[in-house]
Amino acid sequence: MQYLATFLLTAFTNVAAFFMKFVTRRFAIGLAVVTVFIAMTAIFAAALHGMVAAAMSAMSTHMLLVGFTSLIPSNFEVCVGIYFAARITDWAYSLNKDILRMYLGGI
């Protein structure tokens, strides 16, 4: 049993060291940022979906419900999510451009 545990620990250590050679700090930070943006977008879309569903269930009369659904398309949450994702992407691009300008001396 001791030899098996030693073998598995050595194999895990070697595999982890192999992957750590390729995973740099920049890659880890980039992966974390992408994960955070995906999570924020998913939470935002779920919140919008919940708000629209709550507004739909709170309406009492049928005619008001029909009027409200005629104004908002069925993919409203997706459209607003894409809009805000585009705004965040534009902000990140402008920020990176400004940082490059600052470091490269006014390009």
Q: Tell me: the pLDDT tens digits for 90-107? A: 888 888 888 877 777 655
Closest by CA position to 44, among listed 79, 20, 6? 79
**How much is the pLDDT for 65?**
67
- Rounded to whole angstroms, the Cα distance separating 23 from 31 reads 10
Q: 88 vs 1, which has greater pLDDT?
A: 88
Q: 26 vs 84, which has greater pLDDT?
A: 84
Mean pLDDT across the stretch 33-60? 76
Q: What distances in angstroms separate CA 100 from CA 84, 91, 95, 103, 107, one per listed residue?
A: 24, 14, 9, 5, 8
Mean pLDDT across the stretch 52-60? 68
* This model's pTM is above 0.75: no
